[in-house]
Amino acid sequence: MWKDLPLYPEQASTIAQPVDLLYFFLIAVSAFFALVISVLIVIFASKYRKSRPDAKSAHIEGSTLLEVIWTVIPLGLTMVMFAWGTILFFDQARMPADALEFTVTGKQWMWKVQHPTGQREINDLHVPIGKPCRLTMTSEDVIHSYYIPAFRTKQDVVAGRYSELWFEASKLGTYDIYCAEYCGTEHSKMVGKVTVMTQQDYEMWLSGAVANETPVQAGERLFTAMRCITCHNSTSTARGPDLTGQFGKDVRLASGASVNFDAEYVRESILNPAAKTVEGFQAGLMPTYQGQLKEEDILSLIAYLKTLGADKSAQGAAAK
């Protein structure tokens, strides 16, 4: 039975192996201390076993030298763990620039995924091998957590925010996806499979799955359909600020502060425009779209706004 028990799940992403290495390092340190401690206990408890009822112990009050030693050595070791773990974590926190962009929406109790090319799937995820994939995730209700043990990665998915996760799959196969944050009755059924495929297979799969609009296309459609474009365009009479090329830049607010034009800010501007007013524009003019746009729509709008200005042709289309 023990032969079949692996000690770690499959290593199917580029970071799996570094994480396991760190894990083994910690096991080694722990095992060392556990061993030293239990051996000392056994030795002391037998060697200094009370001999006679009236036997007396030695007079020892302590030793500053020893205290220093057993403060400094563990401290040093924890600093190594800390540094190593932090480097790994920051590697995972920094998003690669050239990644495939997926969007994920968590909802009691399913995962809704959209591929960069527009295909959607529920619970499952298909990714090509050897390509960084970046997931922009939000929730429609409670907090969930997207967890792929084989990739050694997870990230909470919170309503009202965007969280991001990336990985680069390194081994073909099918692995589990779990929801790791408790989210209610069917929390343990909020699971799926991630399938790592070769580039060709992935493309085959994409062509097989019915492609909807891509997020950018959907965003562009919504931008017109929801009449954003009537105020946000680059004409001189526009009532709202020009959104072209804004994504990622800082915006000055009427209050004098400035905010970064990022996904969260766009979301807030759409759902709750009064929260922050752009310098030089009328507060309260932009209506709220609360209740009119779904989380996925907002994700699409964000995807579209990202491309605005990054790519001149898309900008032209919007401004006309």
Partner 1 sequence: MSSTLHTPAQHASATKGAKERDTYLTADYGWKSWLFTVDHKRIAVLYLISIMVFFLIGGTFALLMRAELMTAKGDLFEAETYNKLFTMHGVVMIFFFLIPSIPAVLGNFLVPIMIGTKDLAFPKINLLSWYIYLVGGGATLYVAITGGLDTGWTFYAPYSSTYANTNVAAAAIAVFITGFSSILTGLNFIVTIHKMRAPGMTWFRMPLFLWAQYATSLIMILGTPVLAITVMLLALERTFHIGIFDPALGGDPVLFQHLFWFYSHPAVYIMILPGMGVISEIVACFSRKRMFGYHFIAFSSLAIAIFGFVVWGHHMFVSGQSAYAGFVFSFLTMLVAIPSAVKVFNWIATLYKGQVSLETPMLYALGFIGLFTIGGVTGLFLAVMGLDRHVHDTYFVVAHFHYVMVGGMVMAFMGGMHFWWSKMFGRKYPEAMGQFAAVVIFVGFNFTFFPQFILGYMGMPRRYHQYNDEFTALNVLSSAGATILGTGFLMTIVYFLWSLKWGQKAPQNQWDAKGLEWEKAQSPPPTFNFEDGERIVVTEDAYAYTYEESHTGSGHEVKK
Partner 2 sequence: MSDHAHSTTGLVHHFDDIEQQHEAGTLGMWAFLITEVLFFGGLFGAYAVYRSAYPEAFMRASSHLDVDLGGVNTIVLICSSLTMALSVYAAQKGSKRGIIMGLLGTMFFGAIFLGVKVIEYKDKWDHHLVPGDNFIFEGNPGGPEQLYFALYFAMTGVHAFHMIVGMVIICWMIKKAHRGDFTPGHHPLVENFGLYWHFVDIVWIFLFPLLYLIGAHSGSHT
Residues that bind ligand CUA (CB under 6 A): 106, 109, 144, 179, 181-183, 187, 190
* Out of 30, 258, 272, 282, the residue judged to bind partner 2 by CB under 8 A: 272
Q: Does 290 bind ligand HEC (CB under 6 A)?
A: no
Question: Sheet harboring 173-179: ordered strands across?
Answer: 125-128, 192-197, 173-179, 144-148, 153-157
* CA of residue 135 relative to chain centroid, distance: 7
Q: Does 249 bind ligand HEC (CB under 6 A)?
A: no
Question: What mask, x for binding partner 1 by CB under 8 A, covers residues 93 to 112?
Answer: x--------------x----
Residue that the structure tokens 């507060």 belong to: 283
Beta carbons within 10 angstroms of residue 310's beta carbon: 13
Binds 158, which of partner 2, ligand HEA, partner 1, none (CB < 5 to 8 A, cut-off by type)? Answer: partner 1
* Out of 17, 74, 79, 249, the residue judged to bind ligand HEA by CB under 6 A: 74
In sequence order, the 6+-apart residues with CB closer than 8 A to the CB of 11 are 17, 20, 150, 152, 170, 171
Residue 135's identity, in one-letter code, is: L
* Out of 269, 295, 299, 306, the residue judged to bind ligand HEC by CB under 6 A: 269
Quote the least distance from Cβ 179 to ligand CUA, whole Å: 3
List the end-to-end C-alpha distance of the chain, in Å, as a whole number: 69
Q: How far is CA 199 from CA 68, 125, 204, in A?
A: 57, 14, 9
CA distance 136 to 157: 9
Q: Does 160 bind partner 1 (CB under 8 A)?
A: yes
Quote the least distance from Cβ 142 to partner 1, whole Å: 4
Cβ nearer to ligand CUA, comparing 137 with 183:
183
Quote the least distance from Cβ 101 to ligand HEC, whole Å: 19
Binds 301, which of ligand HEC, ligand CUA, ligand HEA, none (CB < 5 to 8 A, cut-off by type)? Answer: ligand HEC
Q: Does 285 bind partner 2 (CB under 8 A)?
A: no
Write out the H or E segment, with its range, that includes residue 63: none
Tokens of 31: 């095992």
Which of 122, 183, 169, 146 minimizes the C-alpha distance to 16?
Answer: 169
Cβ nearer to ligand HEC, comparing 270 with 314:
270
Quote the least distance from Cβ 320 to partner 2, whole Å: 33
Q: Does 77 bind ligand HEA (CB under 6 A)?
A: yes
Quote the least distance from Cβ 261 to ligand HEC, whole Å: 6
Q: How far is CA 190 from CA 12, 43, 66, 144, 178, in A?
A: 21, 50, 52, 9, 6
- 319: phi > 0 → left, psi -120 to 50 → alpha, else beta; which? alpha
Tokens of 307: 């491309």
Residue 156's identity, in one-letter code, is: D
Q: Which of residues 222-241 bind ligand HEC (CB under 6 A)?
A: 226-228, 230-232, 239-241
* Out of 12, 113, 278, 303, the residue judged to bind ligand HEC by CB under 6 A: 278
Contact at 8 Å (CB) between 258 and 252?
yes
Binds 48, which of partner 1, ligand HEC, ligand CUA, none (CB < 5 to 8 A, cut-off by type)? Answer: partner 1
Binding footprint of ligand HEC on the chain (CB under 6 A) = 226-228, 230-232, 239-241, 243, 246, 251, 261, 266, 269-270, 273, 276-278, 281-283, 285-286, 289, 301
